Amino acid sequence: MHLWSDYEGKTIAEAYPLGQLIRPEGRTAFFATANGTGTPAVIRLTESLNDEHEMLSRWQQVADLGEEHLVTIKKFGQTSFDGTPLAYALLELTDASLADILRERPLTPAETVEVGHSLVAALKALHAKDLVHEHLTPESVLAVGEVIKLRSDCVREATNDLDHTPEALKQRDVHALAELLLRCLTLDANLTPATRLAAPFDRIVPRGLDGAWGLDEIDAALTPPPTPEVKPLVPEGVIAAAHAAAETHRLELADAAQAEPYEPVQAELPLQSARVSRIYSPVKAAPKPPLFWGGVAAAALLALFVVWHLVQGRPVTSATATAPAAPATVAPSPIKTIDDAPNPPAAKAGVATVATQPGWHVVAYTYNHEDQAWQKVASLRAEHSSLRPEVFSPSGRAPFLVTLGGGMSRAEAEALRRQARKDGLPRDVFTRDYRAR
């Protein structure tokens, strides 16, 4: 029998050169290797004890599952080294393990929710094929990029034995999951009366430990309830009716103007900007109400009083009579007809703000113009209506954010962000707390 370190530098199955020994586990060891194309990978070698066919069958079932949260088994088979029969499995390379993180710090509740979602998905896939894990430890929880995965080469069949039924074996996995979540939050595997856990783990951990809950109940507790849909401040039917009434009124005024044509009167406005040009419009003098003529008379009396006061208070320098000034001709002000008025812009459903929806938000896109944000919301509602996209503006003006689900707690926002990524939204979807300061 060789020591596992003796295998370093050897080639297995004429295809996999063995690099450094990563770790031994009894009759099993893990080595760094490449898959024949130079891509880094990990290979598991196990000395066969007439059980290689069972191992290969389990690995085939795991490979057939294609579960995202199980470490991928790329290839597997049988070989020998110096007369020693071996079973091997080529595994995808992982970046880190949960044990590495827990040696430095506990996880936050939001991080633990993400771990819980991933492990529940992996265990559900295994249990559906009557497989159990039985090695649910921090060392078995691995990361490949941003995806949390469960070690998959150590599973076995959930069969009846002298001590346990298949259902009891599956419930042991649930118990181990509850212990693992407790360790993520507290770095301790024992639940005591003094332990205080954040929601929803204050229910998940004790009920998972005592067997009251299974994977379905834990999964439901990890998934926040849907946020009620936010209705527009003004119902869309009211907006549509207002537009229809405005358009009808505009057409009536336009028809009336065409029925009574008048000679156009040209007038020039003082220009405030180079963009303002002369406006020509047919004008009909409207009859002045009595109140208007009363105002004109009062203004004339006031003007005579001011002139008399000025004449009495200054010396006369010349007896020459001055000719009375010609009455000033006032050009009529140009009036813009209703035909030139732009149609009112189509009203949008209410933009959510910090005042109406404080809390954590899942931000998918950012725009400087509100209409662009609404266009994106419309396309998202057509494809991903369950994500409840909407336009959110923290300040009531630009930028306009396309957010998902409205205001919520941090744990709910993290869960919705993961769901959005699974549904195909960009990987840079992020969460942020927006509250009135």
Where is pLDDT greater, at 209 or 254?
Answer: 209
Which top CATH class is 4-91? alpha beta
Where is pLDDT greater, at 332 or 372?
Answer: 372
- Which of 187-196, 250-259, 328-337 is modeled with the greatest confidence? 187-196
pLDDT at 430 over 70: yes
Please state the CATH superfamily assignment of the domain spanning residues 359-434 in this structure.
Sporulation related repeat (3.30.70.1070)
Where is pLDDT greater, at 434 or 89?
Answer: 89
pLDDT at 116: 98
Residue 304: which pLDDT band, with cuts at 50, 70 and 90? Answer: low
> Which stretches of 334-404 are DSSP H helices?
370-383
Residue 200: cis peptide before it, omega within 30 degrees of 0: yes
Phi-psi label, residue 10: left if phi above 0, alpha if psi -120 to 50, beta otherwise? beta
Which top CATH class is 96-222? mainly alpha
User: What residue segments make up the domains of the chain, in order of their start?
Assistant: 4-91, 96-222, 359-434
pLDDT at 303: 64
pLDDT at 74: 93
pLDDT at 259: 64
- In DSSP terms, 91 is beta-bridged to 42, 73
pLDDT above 90 as % of the chain: 49
CA triplet 237, 238, 243: central angle to 5 degrees? 100
pLDDT at 261 over 70: no
- Which of 90-99, 309-318, 365-374, 379-388 is modeled with the greatest confidence? 90-99
CA 276 to chain centre: 45
Q: What is the pLDDT of residues 311-367, one digit of tens each?
A: 455 444 443 444 444 444 444 444 443 344 444 333 355 787 767 788 999 999 988
Element (H, E) at 405: strand 400-408
What is the chain's mean pLDDT, rounded?
81
pLDDT at 309: 54
Q: What is the mean pLDDT of residues 84-106?
A: 95
pTM of the model: 0.54
Beta strand pairing status for 84-91 and 40-47?
antiparallel
| Inter-residue contact 152 to 70 (CB < 8 Å) | yes
Where is pLDDT greater, at 322 or 387?
Answer: 387
Q: What is the pLDDT of residues 141-153, one digit of tens each?
A: 999 999 999 999 9
What burial class does residue 333 get, using C-beta atoms within 10 Å of its C-beta: 0-12 exposed, 13-18 middle, 19+ buried?
exposed
List, in order, residues 6 or more apart from 371 with CB less than 8 Å away. Answer: 348
Residue 140: which pLDDT band, with cuts at 50, 70 and 90? Answer: very high
CA distances from 346 to 144, 241, 433 (A): 47, 12, 31
| Inter-residue contact 132 to 170 (CB < 8 Å) | yes
Q: What is the pLDDT of residues 130-139, one digit of tens each?
A: 999 999 999 9
Q: What is the mean pLDDT of residues 370-376?
A: 90
